[in-house]
Structure 1
Protein backbone atom coordinates (compact mmCIF):
# COMPACT_ATOMS: atom_id res chain seq x y z
CA UNK A 1 0.00 0.00 0.00
CA UNK A 2 0.97 3.65 -0.35
CA UNK A 3 2.65 4.82 2.87
CA UNK A 4 1.62 8.40 3.65
CA UNK A 5 4.08 11.00 4.88
CA UNK A 6 1.56 13.09 6.81
CA UNK A 7 -1.82 12.15 8.27
CA UNK A 8 -4.03 14.60 10.15
CA UNK A 9 -6.30 13.29 12.90
CA UNK A 10 -9.06 15.71 13.93
CA UNK A 11 -10.79 14.24 16.97
CA UNK A 12 -11.42 15.57 20.47
CA UNK A 13 -11.81 12.21 22.23
CA UNK A 14 -8.34 11.54 23.73
CA UNK A 15 -8.85 7.82 24.46
CA UNK A 16 -10.05 7.02 20.94
CA UNK A 17 -7.39 9.23 19.37
CA UNK A 18 -4.63 7.62 21.43
CA UNK A 19 -5.78 4.08 20.59
CA UNK A 20 -5.97 4.97 16.92
CA UNK A 21 -2.55 6.62 16.97
CA UNK A 22 -0.88 3.65 18.66
CA UNK A 23 -2.28 1.26 16.07
CA UNK A 24 -1.43 3.43 13.06
CA UNK A 25 2.08 4.27 14.31
CA UNK A 26 2.88 0.59 14.70
CA UNK A 27 1.87 -0.05 11.08
CA UNK A 28 3.05 3.24 9.57
CA UNK A 29 6.27 3.95 11.50
CA UNK A 30 7.54 6.49 8.94
CA UNK A 31 4.33 8.54 8.92
CA UNK A 32 4.00 11.84 10.79
CA UNK A 33 0.66 12.15 12.57
CA UNK A 34 -0.63 15.67 13.23
CA UNK A 35 -3.42 16.06 15.78
CA UNK A 36 -6.22 18.62 16.07
CA UNK A 37 -8.96 18.70 18.70
CA UNK A 38 -11.07 21.62 17.43
CA UNK A 39 -12.05 23.17 14.11
CA UNK A 40 -9.77 26.13 14.89
CA UNK A 41 -6.80 23.82 15.43
CA UNK A 42 -7.68 21.89 12.27
CA UNK A 43 -7.67 25.10 10.23
CA UNK A 44 -4.21 25.97 11.57
CA UNK A 45 -2.91 22.46 10.90
CA UNK A 46 -4.26 22.48 7.33
CA UNK A 47 -2.50 25.76 6.59
CA UNK A 48 0.80 24.34 7.87
CA UNK A 49 0.33 20.88 6.32
CA UNK A 50 -1.62 21.71 3.17
CA UNK A 51 -0.03 18.79 1.33
CA UNK A 52 -1.11 16.15 3.87
CA UNK A 53 -1.91 12.72 2.45
CA UNK A 54 -5.05 12.07 4.51
CA UNK A 55 -7.44 13.64 7.01
CA UNK A 56 -9.31 11.54 9.56
CA UNK A 57 -12.21 13.77 10.61
CA UNK A 58 -14.63 13.45 13.51
CA UNK A 59 -17.79 15.32 12.49
CA UNK A 60 -18.42 16.40 16.07
CA UNK A 61 -15.21 18.18 17.10
CA UNK A 62 -15.72 21.51 18.93
CA UNK A 63 -16.52 24.29 16.49
CA UNK A 64 -17.96 21.94 13.89
CA UNK A 65 -21.48 22.31 12.53
CA UNK A 66 -22.46 18.95 11.13
CA UNK A 67 -21.08 18.45 7.62
CA UNK A 68 -19.89 22.02 7.18
CA UNK A 69 -16.28 21.32 8.15
CA UNK A 70 -16.14 18.41 5.69
CA UNK A 71 -17.59 20.58 2.93
CA UNK A 72 -15.17 23.40 3.70
CA UNK A 73 -12.11 21.13 3.71
CA UNK A 74 -13.10 19.45 0.45
CA UNK A 75 -13.59 22.85 -1.19
CA UNK A 76 -10.29 24.36 -0.11
CA UNK A 77 -8.11 21.24 0.07
CA UNK A 78 -9.59 19.01 -2.64
CA UNK A 79 -6.35 17.04 -2.98
CA UNK A 80 -6.54 15.75 0.62
CA UNK A 81 -8.78 12.68 0.90
CA UNK A 82 -11.02 12.76 3.97
CA UNK A 83 -12.24 9.78 5.96
CA UNK A 84 -15.04 10.60 8.37
CA UNK A 85 -14.52 8.73 11.65
CA UNK A 86 -17.71 9.17 13.63
CA UNK A 87 -19.94 7.88 16.42
CA UNK A 88 -22.85 8.39 14.03
CA UNK A 89 -23.60 5.19 12.15
CA UNK A 90 -26.99 5.78 10.52
CA UNK A 91 -27.45 5.39 6.77
CA UNK A 92 -28.37 9.04 6.17
CA UNK A 93 -25.22 10.36 7.83
CA UNK A 94 -22.97 7.95 5.91
CA UNK A 95 -24.73 8.72 2.64
CA UNK A 96 -24.47 12.48 3.08
CA UNK A 97 -20.81 12.30 4.12
CA UNK A 98 -19.99 10.57 0.83
CA UNK A 99 -22.21 13.00 -1.08
CA UNK A 100 -20.27 15.91 0.41
CA UNK A 101 -16.92 14.51 -0.67
CA UNK A 102 -15.66 12.05 1.96
CA UNK A 103 -13.57 9.21 0.56
CA UNK A 104 -14.59 6.91 3.35
CA UNK A 105 -16.72 6.56 6.46
CA UNK A 106 -15.56 4.61 9.50
CA UNK A 107 -17.89 4.25 12.51
CA UNK A 108 -16.03 4.51 15.81
CA UNK A 109 -17.41 1.11 16.79
CA UNK A 110 -15.33 -0.46 13.99
CA UNK A 111 -12.53 -2.76 15.11
CA UNK A 112 -8.97 -1.50 14.70
CA UNK A 113 -8.05 -3.94 11.92
CA UNK A 114 -11.02 -2.81 9.84
CA UNK A 115 -10.16 0.84 10.48
CA UNK A 116 -6.63 0.23 9.19
CA UNK A 117 -8.03 -1.64 6.19
CA UNK A 118 -10.36 1.26 5.40
CA UNK A 119 -7.51 3.75 5.62
CA UNK A 120 -5.36 1.57 3.37
CA UNK A 121 -8.09 1.33 0.74
CA UNK A 122 -8.66 5.09 0.69
CA UNK A 123 -4.91 5.74 0.38
CA UNK A 124 -5.00 3.53 -2.71
CA UNK A 125 -7.68 5.76 -4.23
CA UNK A 126 -10.76 3.72 -3.34
CA UNK A 127 -13.88 4.64 -1.38
CA UNK A 128 -14.40 2.70 1.84
CA UNK A 129 -17.79 2.25 3.50
CA UNK A 130 -18.98 0.19 6.47
CA UNK A 131 -19.81 -3.43 5.80
CA UNK A 132 -23.42 -3.85 4.77
CA UNK A 133 -23.96 -0.24 3.72
CA UNK A 134 -25.78 -0.13 0.39
CA UNK A 135 -26.32 3.62 0.02
CA UNK A 136 -30.07 3.34 -0.33
CA UNK A 137 -32.81 5.18 1.56
CA UNK A 138 -30.72 8.28 2.09
CA UNK A 139 -32.31 11.60 2.99
CA UNK A 140 -33.04 14.28 0.38
CA UNK A 141 -29.98 16.02 -1.07
CA UNK A 142 -28.84 19.26 0.51
CA UNK A 143 -26.37 19.90 -2.27
CA UNK A 144 -27.54 23.48 -2.93
CA UNK A 145 -26.85 24.49 0.67
CA UNK A 146 -23.54 22.64 0.53
CA UNK A 147 -22.56 24.57 -2.61
CA UNK A 148 -23.36 27.87 -0.90
CA UNK A 149 -21.24 26.96 2.12
CA UNK A 150 -18.43 25.76 -0.15
CA UNK A 151 -18.43 29.10 -1.99
CA UNK A 152 -17.28 30.93 1.16
CA UNK A 153 -13.63 31.81 1.54
CA UNK A 154 -11.79 30.43 4.56
CA UNK A 155 -12.11 33.75 6.39
CA UNK A 156 -15.81 34.02 5.56
CA UNK A 157 -16.42 30.47 6.76
CA UNK A 158 -14.61 31.24 10.01
CA UNK A 159 -16.70 34.36 10.55
CA UNK A 160 -19.91 32.44 9.82
CA UNK A 161 -19.05 29.88 12.50
CA UNK A 162 -18.38 32.77 14.89
CA UNK A 163 -21.84 34.12 14.08
CA UNK A 164 -23.17 30.71 15.06
CA UNK A 165 -21.33 31.00 18.38
CA UNK A 166 -23.12 34.30 19.03
CA UNK A 167 -20.03 36.52 18.88
CA UNK A 168 -20.48 40.22 18.16
CA UNK A 169 -18.67 41.95 15.30
CA UNK A 170 -16.37 43.63 17.83
CA UNK A 171 -15.44 40.27 19.38
CA UNK A 172 -14.86 38.70 15.97
CA UNK A 173 -12.67 41.62 14.90
CA UNK A 174 -10.59 41.26 18.07
CA UNK A 175 -10.13 37.48 17.68
CA UNK A 176 -9.20 37.72 14.00
CA UNK A 177 -7.08 40.86 14.49
CA UNK A 178 -9.01 42.83 11.86
CA UNK A 179 -11.20 45.93 11.93
CA UNK A 180 -14.95 45.86 12.51
CA UNK A 181 -15.34 47.33 9.03
CA UNK A 182 -13.57 44.28 7.62
CA UNK A 183 -15.88 41.96 9.55
CA UNK A 184 -18.91 43.86 8.22
CA UNK A 185 -17.56 43.61 4.67
CA UNK A 186 -17.14 39.86 5.06
CA UNK A 187 -20.62 39.62 6.55
CA UNK A 188 -22.10 41.36 3.52
CA UNK A 189 -20.31 38.91 1.23
CA UNK A 190 -21.52 35.96 3.33
CA UNK A 191 -25.12 37.15 3.17
CA UNK A 192 -24.88 37.56 -0.61
CA UNK A 193 -23.43 34.09 -1.16
CA UNK A 194 -25.97 32.43 1.13
CA UNK A 195 -28.87 34.48 -0.28
CA UNK A 196 -29.88 35.82 3.13
CA UNK A 197 -30.29 39.26 4.66
CA UNK A 198 -28.83 38.98 8.15
CA UNK A 199 -26.67 36.89 10.43
CA UNK A 200 -29.62 35.04 11.98
CA UNK A 201 -30.67 33.77 8.56
CA UNK A 202 -27.04 32.92 7.75
CA UNK A 203 -26.76 30.77 10.88
CA UNK A 204 -29.99 29.00 9.92
CA UNK A 205 -28.40 28.07 6.59
CA UNK A 206 -25.37 26.73 8.44
CA UNK A 207 -27.61 24.71 10.72
CA UNK A 208 -29.33 23.02 7.77
CA UNK A 209 -26.28 20.79 7.48
CA UNK A 210 -26.23 19.81 11.15
CA UNK A 211 -26.54 16.13 11.97
CA UNK A 212 -29.83 15.48 13.71
CA UNK A 213 -29.57 11.76 14.37
CA UNK A 214 -29.92 10.98 18.08
CA UNK A 215 -26.99 8.70 18.85
CA UNK A 216 -26.96 9.01 22.65
CA UNK A 217 -27.82 5.33 22.98
CA UNK A 218 -24.49 4.51 21.36
CA UNK A 219 -22.61 6.35 24.09
CA UNK A 220 -24.20 4.62 27.07
CA UNK A 221 -21.83 2.70 29.27
Structure 2
Protein backbone atom coordinates (compact mmCIF):
# COMPACT_ATOMS: atom_id res chain seq x y z
CA UNK A 1 0.00 0.00 0.00
CA UNK A 2 1.44 3.38 -1.05
CA UNK A 3 1.60 6.01 1.68
CA UNK A 4 1.54 9.52 0.23
CA UNK A 5 4.14 12.09 1.20
CA UNK A 6 3.98 15.86 0.80
CA UNK A 7 4.86 15.37 -2.86
CA UNK A 8 1.88 16.18 -5.06
CA UNK A 9 1.52 12.91 -6.97
CA UNK A 10 -0.46 9.67 -6.99
CA UNK A 11 0.51 6.16 -8.07
CA UNK A 12 -0.99 4.74 -11.25
CA UNK A 13 -4.56 3.57 -10.70
CA UNK A 14 -3.63 0.12 -11.99
CA UNK A 15 -1.63 -0.39 -8.80
CA UNK A 16 -4.86 -0.29 -6.74
CA UNK A 17 -5.60 -3.34 -4.62
CA UNK A 18 -8.61 -5.59 -5.17
CA UNK A 19 -10.86 -3.21 -3.22
CA UNK A 20 -9.80 -0.25 -5.35
CA UNK A 21 -7.53 1.47 -2.81
CA UNK A 22 -4.70 3.35 -4.53
CA UNK A 23 -3.02 5.11 -1.62
CA UNK A 24 -3.32 6.29 1.98
CA UNK A 25 -2.43 9.60 3.59
CA UNK A 26 -1.62 12.98 2.14
CA UNK A 27 -4.00 15.88 2.60
CA UNK A 28 -7.20 17.40 1.23
CA UNK A 29 -5.65 20.48 -0.33
CA UNK A 30 -7.39 21.84 -3.42
CA UNK A 31 -4.30 20.99 -5.49
CA UNK A 32 -4.26 17.36 -4.37
CA UNK A 33 -8.02 16.94 -4.79
CA UNK A 34 -7.91 18.36 -8.31
CA UNK A 35 -5.03 16.07 -9.23
CA UNK A 36 -6.89 13.11 -7.74
CA UNK A 37 -9.99 13.61 -9.88
CA UNK A 38 -7.88 14.25 -12.96
CA UNK A 39 -6.22 10.90 -12.20
CA UNK A 40 -9.49 8.97 -11.76
CA UNK A 41 -9.09 8.87 -7.96
CA UNK A 42 -11.31 10.11 -5.10
CA UNK A 43 -11.04 10.22 -1.27
CA UNK A 44 -13.36 8.13 0.88
CA UNK A 45 -12.73 7.51 4.58
CA UNK A 46 -14.36 7.80 7.99
CA UNK A 47 -13.72 10.24 10.81
CA UNK A 48 -10.56 9.31 12.68
CA UNK A 49 -9.12 7.22 9.84
CA UNK A 50 -6.28 8.29 7.55
CA UNK A 51 -7.33 9.64 4.14
CA UNK A 52 -7.93 6.71 1.79
CA UNK A 53 -7.76 7.25 -1.99
CA UNK A 54 -9.80 5.02 -4.31
CA UNK A 55 -10.06 4.07 -7.95
CA UNK A 56 -12.46 1.11 -8.06
CA UNK A 57 -12.64 -1.44 -10.84
CA UNK A 58 -15.26 -1.65 -12.21
CA UNK A 59 -16.48 1.96 -12.07
CA UNK A 60 -20.15 2.93 -11.82
CA UNK A 61 -21.05 5.55 -14.44
CA UNK A 62 -23.95 6.98 -16.37
CA UNK A 63 -23.70 7.46 -20.10
CA UNK A 64 -26.03 10.43 -20.34
CA UNK A 65 -28.27 9.02 -23.09
CA UNK A 66 -28.98 5.99 -20.89
CA UNK A 67 -30.79 7.90 -18.14
CA UNK A 68 -34.01 6.14 -17.13
CA UNK A 69 -36.97 8.28 -16.06
CA UNK A 70 -40.11 6.45 -14.97
CA UNK A 71 -43.56 7.61 -16.04
CA UNK A 72 -44.39 8.62 -12.47
CA UNK A 73 -41.17 10.63 -12.27
CA UNK A 74 -41.99 12.38 -15.52
CA UNK A 75 -45.35 13.35 -14.07
CA UNK A 76 -43.64 14.84 -11.01
CA UNK A 77 -41.27 16.83 -13.21
CA UNK A 78 -44.13 18.05 -15.40
CA UNK A 79 -46.07 19.23 -12.35
CA UNK A 80 -43.10 21.41 -11.41
CA UNK A 81 -43.49 20.67 -7.71
CA UNK A 82 -39.85 21.58 -7.15
CA UNK A 83 -37.58 24.48 -8.04
CA UNK A 84 -34.04 23.56 -9.11
CA UNK A 85 -31.00 25.83 -8.84
CA UNK A 86 -27.29 25.39 -9.50
CA UNK A 87 -24.52 26.53 -7.13
CA UNK A 88 -26.78 28.65 -4.95
CA UNK A 89 -26.01 27.02 -1.59
CA UNK A 90 -23.14 24.56 -1.88
CA UNK A 91 -22.36 24.46 1.83
CA UNK A 92 -25.94 23.60 2.77
CA UNK A 93 -26.02 20.80 0.19
CA UNK A 94 -22.82 19.12 1.36
CA UNK A 95 -23.82 19.63 5.02
CA UNK A 96 -27.17 17.95 4.40
CA UNK A 97 -25.40 15.09 2.63
CA UNK A 98 -23.28 14.69 5.77
CA UNK A 99 -26.24 14.68 8.18
CA UNK A 100 -28.84 12.64 6.28
CA UNK A 101 -29.44 9.17 7.72
CA UNK A 102 -28.93 6.33 5.24
CA UNK A 103 -30.07 2.73 5.46
CA UNK A 104 -27.29 0.39 6.53
CA UNK A 105 -24.89 3.18 7.55
CA UNK A 106 -24.06 4.08 11.12
CA UNK A 107 -22.23 7.27 10.28
CA UNK A 108 -20.97 9.40 7.42
CA UNK A 109 -17.80 9.54 5.37
CA UNK A 110 -18.26 13.29 4.84
CA UNK A 111 -16.09 14.61 7.66
CA UNK A 112 -15.91 18.26 8.66
CA UNK A 113 -12.50 18.45 6.98
CA UNK A 114 -14.07 17.10 3.80
CA UNK A 115 -16.75 19.79 3.92
CA UNK A 116 -14.16 22.55 4.20
CA UNK A 117 -12.00 21.03 1.46
CA UNK A 118 -14.88 20.76 -1.01
CA UNK A 119 -16.15 24.23 -0.12
CA UNK A 120 -12.66 25.48 -1.05
CA UNK A 121 -13.00 23.60 -4.35
CA UNK A 122 -16.39 25.22 -4.84
CA UNK A 123 -14.85 28.69 -4.49
CA UNK A 124 -12.55 27.73 -7.37
CA UNK A 125 -15.55 26.58 -9.44
CA UNK A 126 -14.41 22.94 -9.45
CA UNK A 127 -16.95 21.56 -6.96
CA UNK A 128 -20.56 22.30 -7.83
CA UNK A 129 -24.00 21.75 -6.33
CA UNK A 130 -27.57 21.29 -7.48
CA UNK A 131 -30.27 22.43 -5.06
CA UNK A 132 -33.91 21.31 -5.00
CA UNK A 133 -36.41 23.58 -3.28
CA UNK A 134 -40.03 23.16 -2.21
CA UNK A 135 -41.90 26.13 -0.77
CA UNK A 136 -38.57 27.97 -0.48
CA UNK A 137 -37.11 25.15 1.66
CA UNK A 138 -34.05 23.15 0.61
CA UNK A 139 -35.39 19.59 0.37
CA UNK A 140 -32.81 17.83 -1.79
CA UNK A 141 -29.66 18.16 -3.80
CA UNK A 142 -26.32 16.75 -4.80
CA UNK A 143 -22.75 17.87 -5.26
CA UNK A 144 -19.72 16.75 -7.17
CA UNK A 145 -16.56 17.72 -9.01
CA UNK A 146 -16.75 19.20 -12.50
CA UNK A 147 -14.00 18.05 -14.85
CA UNK A 148 -15.33 19.97 -17.85
CA UNK A 149 -16.27 16.83 -19.83
CA UNK A 150 -17.01 14.47 -16.93
CA UNK A 151 -18.96 15.31 -13.76
CA UNK A 152 -17.87 13.24 -10.76
CA UNK A 153 -20.88 12.87 -8.49
CA UNK A 154 -20.08 12.66 -4.79
CA UNK A 155 -23.26 12.49 -2.73
CA UNK A 156 -26.93 13.45 -2.74
CA UNK A 157 -29.67 13.85 -0.17
CA UNK A 158 -33.44 14.02 -0.03
CA UNK A 159 -35.72 15.27 2.74
CA UNK A 160 -38.92 14.58 0.78
CA UNK A 161 -39.75 11.85 -1.70
CA UNK A 162 -38.12 12.17 -5.13
CA UNK A 163 -36.15 15.36 -4.38
CA UNK A 164 -32.76 13.72 -4.97
CA UNK A 165 -34.05 12.16 -8.20
CA UNK A 166 -35.10 15.61 -9.38
CA UNK A 167 -31.57 16.85 -8.64
CA UNK A 168 -30.02 13.89 -10.47
CA UNK A 169 -32.22 14.23 -13.56
CA UNK A 170 -31.70 18.00 -13.66
CA UNK A 171 -27.95 17.50 -13.52
CA UNK A 172 -28.01 14.93 -16.31
CA UNK A 173 -30.10 17.22 -18.53
CA UNK A 174 -27.63 20.04 -17.89
CA UNK A 175 -24.66 17.79 -18.70
CA UNK A 176 -26.29 16.58 -21.92
CA UNK A 177 -27.00 20.11 -23.10
CA UNK A 178 -23.41 21.07 -22.29
CA UNK A 179 -21.99 18.10 -24.28
CA UNK A 180 -20.42 16.26 -21.35
CA UNK A 181 -19.35 12.67 -21.96
CA UNK A 182 -20.14 11.01 -18.67
CA UNK A 183 -21.47 11.22 -15.11
CA UNK A 184 -19.16 9.35 -12.73
CA UNK A 185 -21.04 7.63 -9.90
CA UNK A 186 -17.99 5.82 -8.45
CA UNK A 187 -19.36 2.57 -6.99
CA UNK A 188 -22.38 0.38 -7.60
CA UNK A 189 -25.65 0.70 -5.79
CA UNK A 190 -29.08 -0.50 -6.91
CA UNK A 191 -30.66 2.97 -6.77
CA UNK A 192 -28.14 4.28 -9.28
CA UNK A 193 -28.68 1.22 -11.45
CA UNK A 194 -32.43 1.95 -11.51
CA UNK A 195 -31.61 5.37 -12.98
CA UNK A 196 -29.60 3.83 -15.82
CA UNK A 197 -26.10 3.76 -14.37
CA UNK A 198 -23.87 0.77 -15.10
CA UNK A 199 -20.39 -0.50 -14.37
CA UNK A 200 -17.54 -0.22 -16.84
CA UNK A 201 -13.91 -1.31 -16.66
CA UNK A 202 -11.56 1.15 -15.00
CA UNK A 203 -9.39 1.30 -18.13
CA UNK A 204 -12.38 2.46 -20.17
CA UNK A 205 -13.20 5.07 -17.55
CA UNK A 206 -9.61 6.32 -17.52
CA UNK A 207 -9.60 6.76 -21.30
CA UNK A 208 -12.64 9.01 -20.96
CA UNK A 209 -11.11 10.99 -18.06
CA UNK A 210 -7.90 11.46 -20.05
CA UNK A 211 -9.89 12.44 -23.18
CA UNK A 212 -8.47 9.53 -25.16
CA UNK A 213 -11.87 8.59 -26.65
Report the TM-score when normalising by structure 1: 0.26
Larger Rg: 1
Q: Whose strand fraction is larger, Structure 1's or Structure 2's?
A: 2
Q: Whose helix fraction is larger, Structure 1's or Structure 2's?
A: 1
Higher relative contact order (CA 8 A, sep 6+): 2
